[in-house]
Amino acid sequence: MAISKKMLWGGSIAAHQCEGAYKTDGKGLGIMDVVTAGSASAPRIFHGEVEEGQVYPSHYGIDFYHRYKEDIALFAEAGFTALRISIDWARIYPNGDDAAPNQAGIEHYRDVIMELRRRDIEPIVTLFHFEMPLNLVKKYGSWANRETIQLYLRYCETMFTEFKDIVTYWSTFNEMNHLDADLLLSDFFTYMNTGLCYSKVENPAKVMAECAYNMTLASVKAINCGHRINPDFQIGCVFGITPSYAKTCNPDDSILAYKNMERDWYQIDAMCKGAFPEYKLNEYRKRGIETKISEEDKKEYADSKLDFIGVNYYASSVSSAQESDDDGENFFGASNNPYLRQSDWGWTIDPQGLRYLLMMLDRRYNIPMIITENGLGAFDQKEQDGSVHDQYRIDYLKNHLDELKKSINEDCVNCFGYLMWGPIDLISATTGEMKKRYGFIYVDQDDEGNGTLERSKKDSFYWFRDYTKNW
């Protein structure tokens, strides 16, 4: 089956942020099940296990595990033709290395997928969205160990085989590009992908480079495995990219901006260009990190065919080679852009940055793309009558969609869909808060997990339905 010719419209959610039911039907503990709630000013804390008296938001989510039918009905009413979900690896192989998969976990996801199909919503399935059995970190040392690749492949093979006839679109990973030899942002960004904190491992640059390399190889092998099981599968990988502008016309700023972006390309290069890029191997070598690539692995890279790139876009950043910068730093550790506003959580709002990014990706890779995440985390006020007047969210989405339209119509970019992040309010990944809301659908729950969980439609719900109908 070829990539959809009709634009897909919908949203993206992730298991650990919405399902809850963290022990139900045989699920094992995942790395996000031991991360506490935090806030914009108080970082989330990683415990190696569940500690008494702490709040762990993944344990309750928004109870999507039990309410998925009601929520999918709302998505259908909002005009969705696609929904990106993630499968929690620990529901399928609770410890990651179990002898056999957990049938109850498989059946749960089959039910969710069939419910989407019943509503004419195309399921887009992410196989790893920061959801990894905790046991793989403790027993194997996470992705730094190549055995983890084999265990991941076995899990992927189980999913590809079980859902061969009901899922077409897959993504091997979500945002593994946040992992690199350098600590880019904070411990949290290495933790989400590996269950390991950069600041707490010995020789972090080496460990993180190994993890990033092994995940890249795992993705390539999973793409090849999926295509063998069903050649009609469309298998992509999702990257979270923050394009960087040079602060001034000083060439130092341009070189820094290029370097900051290069980190986001090398894994895509490895999946599309037939080999793991030599420039990255050289960078590793300069750090004293030797990467062993067997003949068999070389063949996997040569055979790899990434069917699409999933683009998560929230913000742009600014690269400044100057040591001190009057404009201050934003959430992503880069300089602020004085021409642009920021969200309440300090994320730069830049609709044109989406167009800039899509052009770069299209010219560099020339394969189909889909916007897999984009949206505004904001404080919402629910009125007495249940309404939420979120004009700020409508403005954000409309401005981005207007730029997407220009990308497609004027820049001839090949983009086959737009999935906004968090169509229903869910737990924030970076802060663990509930009050950082993205949804078209309001969920009655606070940061401690108290509330009725009742769902109600915001103004943006109706706006999205009408906007996409008239696109």
Count of chain residues binding ligand BG6 (CB under 6 A): 14
Fill in the DSSP letter of residue 35.
Answer: B
Closest CA to 76 of 118, 110, 119: 119
Distance between CA atoms of 127 and 277, rounded to whole angstroms?
Answer: 24
Distance between CA atoms of 56 and 46, rounded to whole angstroms?
Answer: 10
Q: Is 421 in the site for ligand BG6 (CB under 6 A)?
A: yes
Does 175 qualify as catalytic in the annotation? yes
Distance between CA atoms of 425 and 421, rounded to whole angstroms?
Answer: 9
Site track for ligand BG6 across 196-225, x = CB under 6 A: ------------------------------
How many CB atoms sit inside 10 A of residue 301's CB? 22
Q: 168, 174, 194, 219: which one contacts ligand BG6 (CB under 6 A)?
A: 174
Q: Is 108 in the site for ligand BG6 (CB under 6 A)?
A: no
State which of positions 8-67 bind ligand BG6 (CB under 6 A): 14, 17
Distance between CA atoms of 133 and 141, rounded to whole angstroms?
Answer: 12
Q: Is 376 in the site for ligand BG6 (CB under 6 A)?
A: no
Q: Which helix (H) or strand (E) holds 16?
A: helix 15-18
Q: Is 362 in the site for ligand BG6 (CB under 6 A)?
A: no
Q: Is 128 in the site for ligand BG6 (CB under 6 A)?
A: no
Choose the binding region for ligand BG6 from 72-80, 194-202, 428-436, 458-466 (rule: CB under 6 A).
428-436
Q: 312, 319, 343, 445: which one contacts ligand BG6 (CB under 6 A)?
A: 312
C-alpha count within 13 angstroms, C-beta hemisphere, residue 440 = 27
Q: Is 84 in the site for ligand BG6 (CB under 6 A)?
A: no
**Which listed residue (175, 210, 403, 433) is catalytic?**
175
Q: Is 428 in the site for ligand BG6 (CB under 6 A)?
A: yes
Distance between CA atoms of 292 and 337, rounded to whole angstroms?
Answer: 41
The beta-strand segments (E) located in 87-143 are: 122-126
Q: Is 65 left (phi over 0), alpha (psi -120 to 50) or beta?
A: alpha
3-state secondary structure of 11: strand
Choose the binding region for ligand BG6 from 40-48, 94-102, 110-118, 430-438 (rule: CB under 6 A).
430-438
Nearer to ligand BG6 by Cβ, of 163 and 314: the residue is: 314
Distance between CA atoms of 397 and 86, rounded to whole angstroms?
Answer: 23
How many CB atoms sit inside 10 A of residue 399's CB? 15
What minimum distance in Å lies between the beta carbon of 422 and ligand BG6? Answer: 6
Q: Is 141 left (phi over 0), alpha (psi -120 to 50) or beta?
A: left
Choose the binding region for ligand BG6 from 116-124, 257-265, 317-325, 424-432 (rule: CB under 6 A).
424-432
Q: 373, 380, 403, 447: which one contacts ligand BG6 (CB under 6 A)?
A: 373
Distance between CA atoms of 452 and 448, rounded to whole angstroms?
Answer: 13
Q: Is 227 in the site for ligand BG6 (CB under 6 A)?
A: no
**Which listed residue (19, 122, 373, 403) is catalytic?**
373
Nearer to ligand BG6 by Cβ, of 128 and 301: the residue is: 128
Token pair of 462 as six digits: 């109706």
Q: 62, 76, 429, 443: which one contacts ligand BG6 (CB under 6 A)?
A: 429
Q: Is 240 in the site for ligand BG6 (CB under 6 A)?
A: yes
Does 290 qualify as catalytic in the annotation? no
Q: Is 193 in the site for ligand BG6 (CB under 6 A)?
A: no
Closest CA to 277 of 213, 325, 362, 189: 213
Which residues of this chain interact with ligand BG6, rule CB under 6 A? 14, 17, 174-175, 240, 312, 373, 377, 421, 428-431, 436
Annotated catalytic residues are: 175, 373
